[in-house]
Structure 1
């Protein structure tokens, strides 16, 4: 049984030795392609958000939670708003950020190096004013002249937006008393009566907006000319705050309000890895795809309402949906296959020629262990043929020496471990050894006896 264990249907050692160099070569090519052809996406990304408890801050935490499940660590970077985020993007301090449409001009150089991932939700312009006893609510923005208005925090996109809105009404900023406080202190100033009004540009679920919509003595300005604003400022849209949307039981508000609204967009540096662009857009669809006060189901995210060019990967998502592989696989596996498809295609084309090379190498390696003993056998025969040239009395010792050598060869051959499929080659070698032995023994019978 111990001898039979030496014989197998195939030789694993020879198979590994034959296919090993090919496999190692393919592995080396795969590793080089993985590291060089298209680097893997980074596992950390910085997201520019906004002021504490603002809509940007709340949504930033939602992105952080969703992408954490995919193995991406999102670090929120607080700011005052859109203008600050634009600066952080240009300086490379954040990779992606929330920005308000209209923050950059359509032909401005500050757009260079940035791409949009689409618009996420509308951010209506909320102009809250203190009601004055006996005075009707303001109906035109020109009536703001001389009033003290907080136009938004420094670094946010709201001051720029307010100046544009006032400009189309022919109102200069100098005609108002303006402050630029953060949202929370500005709200306190309004409630205390130290300012006449304040402007927000935020989603309706902002806690401060929810509070002011229900505060007695504070009313919301109605942009009755909202449609005209959208023609003059294309990044704005006309939205309606429906009657009773805040509180149906108390009928708040008591009528429909017309509002103008820029949109919140995701803007990234153009060198952000394409896989991360796809992942953020998919997260945006999950976070912002539902219905709301000013949007229908599936209206957002969208490639519309942004003056910054939309990234190719984002545009493809809005047109065709999520990449095919990511619908059925984890993000990292799908990304790996998507990055390596060119290499996989090339390797699949090499399978046929490689499959024709490895088997002959395997056969040659196994048979080479037999063929090398044929070389030893030819050496013995060469020594016998050379003995013919010496004196007859000297041939006996030569034949005896070669017979001993032949016995050693036969002993080594008997211990060869050969797959059963090559047994005929082994037995052929043994028969040839026997043939040479018979020849030597025949010559020894005719040779002079050794001294």
Structure 2
């Protein structure tokens, strides 16, 4: 038991010497890491503001999904209901939101990047849905001008272009959504002044209800297929969807538009809804963010987008979204890496906080390793010095005794007592076994001095 206790004491003593020898390097490393941590601020805030859209819209639905996706990482997503893309962009510009869904054609490709607005990638198509009541198109009173036009209107059961909306009671979304502005631009391309039309701006829910009730003849919505009101209108009897045969022409006039096709039967195969392929135009909705939003939050949203928008939809195949091709604004580093790059290996195995810490501070850690490698060479000499110092410090006293042996032969008994005391002290010195030779050499030299002193006659 005593031997075990002695071995443990030697081990602890060696560990203490090693820690004290490496202490200066450890202090340098800790100081650099603390300073880098404070400067880089790698850990993101726990709350982030996401501008979504009206209640019940696809934007609001996706906002809730993002909130659920980030919750396991300890991030609370504060959802900000808005009128739509225009208001979302305004909140981003004013710094009142950190991220927001914005429809293509709304952002300024020049001014917004200069103001620090970036994209995390294009997320999904947002078609322009034009729903109308076919019986309203047939009504003679909806047609004016010549008799030929009136006979054509009576025979016509479907709208074939936006020009057919000219004489109908039309409902659009509210101005904050950006839809009225887009509709006005498209009508203007048909040489139609939207100000002369009977256009009502109201919420999509109210507009859909008014269309179903017959208070409106047509409505224009811009929304993803996931929108509950789009799903409702596609299945409502007496409501038709405009087949925009001029879709390709609109994409040439408005570059932010894309021609898409709603395949036959994709809404309901059993009921064959729609009964034929329908041509539409669509904008591409992107997730925009501010440049000063914490990089870790941008990374989390970009990674969540891969899961939420990577599946096949009515207008796209699997893994077509998110993408960087349809983004009107510069894509942030985090978005580009999540979409086009390969995530680091450690993200698969480490929790978010550890992965993010390594991600943000790897350059500092790498530089610190490069700095400490040459400096670490001083640790072994320091360790050796500390251990040997315990032994060598007593040589000064031994040398003093030996000097007095020559100068004061009469102090024989006093010097013997001092040598005995020095020997007792040396016996209590503990060093690692690898340095025991120096300790035994000290004790041997003490013994040699004692013998020389004893060999001398008393003064």
Task: State TM-score, norm by structure 2.
Answer: 0.88
2:412 pairs with 1:399: yes
Q: Structure 1 residue 216: deviation in Å?
A: 2.2
* Whole-angstrom CA distance in 1 between matches of 2:363 and 2:277: 57
| Conserved? CA contact 1:95–1:272, under 8 Å | yes
Give the deviation of 1:352 after TM superposition: 4.4
**1:214-363 to 2 correspondences below 5 Å:** 214-350=235-371, 352-363=373-384
**Among 53, 57, 76, which residue is 2:79 paired with?**
76
Partner of 2:148: none
Deviation at 1:5, TM superposition (A): 4.3
Query: Secondary structure of 2:267's match?
Result: coil
Q: CA deviation at 1:369?
A: 0.9
Q: Which residue of 1 aligns with 2:223?
A: 202
- Contact 2:251-2:259 within 8 A present in 1 as well: yes
Partners of 2:421 and 2:172 in 1: CA distance: 103
Residue-by-residue CA offset, 1:236-256 (whole Å, 9 max, x unaligned): 111112222222233222222
**In 2: Cα distance, 1:265 partner to 1:370 partner:** 73
Q: Deviations over 1:241-273 (max 9, x none)?
A: 222222223322222221111111100001223
Once the 2 structures are TM-superposed, how far is the Cα of residue 108 of structure 1 from its aligned partner? 4.5
Higher helix share: 2
Structure 1 pair 373/88, CA: closer, same or farther in 2 (3 Å)?
same
Q: 1:385 aligns with which of 388, 393, 406?
A: 406
Which segments of 5 or more consecutive residues in structure 1 lack a partner in the other structure? Answer: 388-394
1:158 to 179, 200, 203: 179
SS where residue 138 of structure 1 aligns?
coil
Of 57, 60, 68, the residue aligned with 1:54 is 57
Of residues 80, 87, 91 in structure 2, which corresponds to 1:88? 91
Deviations 1:136-161 (A, max 9, x none): 33333233234332221231121221
C-alpha change, 1:163 and 1:106, in structure 2 (3 Å) is farther
Counterpart of 1:437 (choices 450, 453, 456) is 450
Q: Report the CA distance shift for 1:4/1:239 in structure 2 as closer, same or farther (over 3 A).
A: closer
Deviation at 1:192, TM superposition (A): 2.5
Quote the RMSD (CA, aligned, Å). Answer: 2.3
Which of 386, 389, 393 is equivalent to 1:372? 393
Change (3 A) 1:349 1:308: closer
Alignment partner, residue 203 of structure 2: 182
Q: Which runs of 5+ in 2 are unaligned?
A: 139-153
Q: SS where residue 179 of structure 1 aligns?
A: strand
TM-score (norm. length: structure 1): 0.90
TM alignment of 1:134-145, pairs within 5 A: 134=138, 135=154, 136=156, 137-145=158-166
Q: Contact (CA 8 Å) 2:175, 2:181: kept in 1 or not?
A: no
Return the match for 2:32 from 20, 29, 33. 29
